[in-house]
Amino acid sequence: MDEQALDKRVSELGERITADYRGKYPVMIGILKGSSVFMADLIRRIPIPMEIDFLKASSYGAEAQSSGNIKLESDLSIDVKDRSILLVEDIVDTGNTLKFLLNRFESMGAKEVKVCSLLDKPDRREQRIVADYIGFEIPNEFVVGYGLDYDQKYRNLPFIGILKREIYE
C-alpha cells in the first residue's frame, strides 16, 4: 500500500469512528509499538473529545511469526472502568494478542471495547476475533512499514510492503 492509499483509508476510518463515537468521549488505546504511526494519523482525523493511552503487548519478539505467548510489557495509565474503549492495532494476525486484551478490558469493567486495525490477515487467525474497523485485508505475507517492523527495523517506511523471505528465514 502506497502513501496515498494509506492516507485515503485512514481518513475514511476516521470519519466512521467520528460518527460512531460522537458523544461517547472514548479512550483510544494504541498497542505499541506497531500502531504508533497509524494511531497518530488516525486521531488527527477524529475531531471529537477523546483520551488516548498506550500499552505494550507483544507476541513476536525478533521472529517473523507470533509465538502465541502474550507479553504485557507496559500497561495503561488511566482507569477504563465504564469507558468506551477503541483499541488501535497495526495488524490482526493470529488474534491471540487481541483476545488477551479484550478479555482483560472486560475484566477491568470497560463499558464497551472495539478494535480498529490498519491491517487484517484472516488466513492466520487462531482466535475468533473480528475487528470493528479494518483498513485493509491482506494475504498471508510478512509486511513492514508504516509502523510495522521486523526485528525493530522498517517502521519508518511511509508505505507498507512485503518483506523478502530471505531477510527473515
Q: Let me know if domain 3-168 sits in CATH 3.10.20.440.
A: no
* pLDDT tens, per residue, the chain with 169 residues: 999 999 999 999 999 999 999 999 999 999 999 999 999 999 999 999 999 999 988 765 545 555 567 777 767 889 999 999 999 999 999 999 899 999 999 999 999 999 999 999 999 999 999 999 999 999 999 999 999 999 999 999 999 999 998 888 7
- The DSSP H or E segment spanning 100 is helix 96-107
Q: Which residues are catalytic?
A: 93
Closest CA to 120 of 7, 3, 1, 17: 1
pTM: 0.90
Contact 28/55 with Cβ under 8 angstroms? Answer: no
